[in-house]
A = this chain, B = another copy of it.
Amino acid sequence: MASIKDVAAEAGVSVATVSRVLNDHPSVSADARARVLAAVEALGYRPNAVARSLRTDQTHTLGLVISDVMNPYFTELARAVEEEARALGYSVIIGNADERPELQDHHVRTLLDRRIDGLLVSPTDGGSPLMLEAARAGTPMVFVDRWIPGVDVPVVRSDGRAAVRDLVAHLHGIGHRRLAIIAGPAATTTGRERVEAFREALAEYGLGLPEAYIGQGDFQADSGRRVTEGFLDLPEPPQVVFAADNLMALGALDAVRARGLRVPDDLALAAFDDIPWFVHTAPPVTAIAQPTGELGRAAVRALVDRIEGRPPRSVTLAARLVVRRSCGENPDGNPATNRSQT
């Protein structure tokens, strides 16, 4: 592959001049510039990003470590992140943690070794030493979706509290009284928060959330299946399950179907995170939709602000309830509880 030296030789100038042309530094004669550009063209020269990064200590690359690529929510997030980053002149390297802390650390370490300019993380656990250390060492970093409390890193996330309240209102209106939740890992903020929001909303209607109605999942489909089976085996099974993410909802659907039961007649279902497929499942699934794309874009903007020396801001966007048919029909047909219809 042609290097800057080859271009310099071909154009009959020094490497410094070539470099100046490439970085359009003002102090180059029109003649020299033309000769360099011709040489670049003739040799098909492309600057070596590795060498450039070594010298300038900038890679123009962002790392994105997400919890699970197979989860459509994170896929959409990743896509938005890449688009916004590209618009701002950055590339993105994605690391898939697969909800495993050690894999997350592997990717963080690899990204750090590559000297990425900044890191976007949706932490799988409550605080890997590696990440805390990186944050303290000054690596530009932004948490997205999930975060680690007590660390001085901006957080871009969505607040589902109001939407969960709307959901409980909707369920209560239909007449459901025994509501259960498939929670995410307690080590994640979203895992804990969604349970808390659910519990508080239930309390407003004088309903409790017994231990037996809190199933411990891990944001993956299998756990949703397992927990739902447990619920169905209870002496008094719940009337509704609220899955804390879309994959566990898929698992719940699997479990219900495997028993030959039906949603919502035998068990109603709602999920956190809306995805296109929910419109077409049998029945269409009521879900809480996050502004995923906006979240990804805001996270990139915050990170790039931090990298380029501007003060980054944390951002919280609202989620909203999308009512479909998986929880049954509201007998009084009161549209007030239906924030949106798809």
List chain A positions with a Cβ less than 8 A from chain B: 1, 44, 46-51, 53-54, 59, 69-70, 72, 75-76, 78-79, 82, 86, 91, 93-94, 96, 106, 109-110, 112-115, 133, 137, 221, 250, 253-254, 257, 276-277, 279-283
Contacts and interface: CB of A to CB of B under 8 A. Distances in A.
Nearest to A103: B86
A138 to B, nearest CB: 10
A54 B46 contact: no
Nearest to A107: B91
Given A91-B110, A283-B282, A70 B79 contact: yes
Contacts of A109: 46
A277 B279 contact: no
A200 to B, nearest CB: 31
Contact of A221 (B51, B96, B114, B276): B276
B282 A280 contact: yes
Given A69-B78, A277-B281, A281-B280, A46 B250 contact: no
Contacts of A282: 280-283
Nearest to A221: B276
Contacts of A70: 72, 75-76, 79
A133 B1 CA distance: 12
A94 B91 contact: no
Nearest to A250: B276
Nearest to A113: B49
Contacts of A93: 91, 93
A280 B79 CA distance: 25
- Residue among A72, A76, A277 facing the most chain B CB atoms (10 A cut-off): A277
Nearest to A276: B250
Given A72-B72, A75-B75, A50 B115 contact: yes
A65 B211 CA distance: 47
B69 A79 contact: yes
Given A93-B93, A277-B281, 10 more contacts: A44-B133, A46-B112, A49-B113, A50-B114, A50-B115, A70-B72, A72-B72, A221-B276, A250-B280, A254-B280
A246 to B, nearest CB: 10
B49 A51 contact: no
Given A79-B96, A276-B250, A50 B54 contact: yes
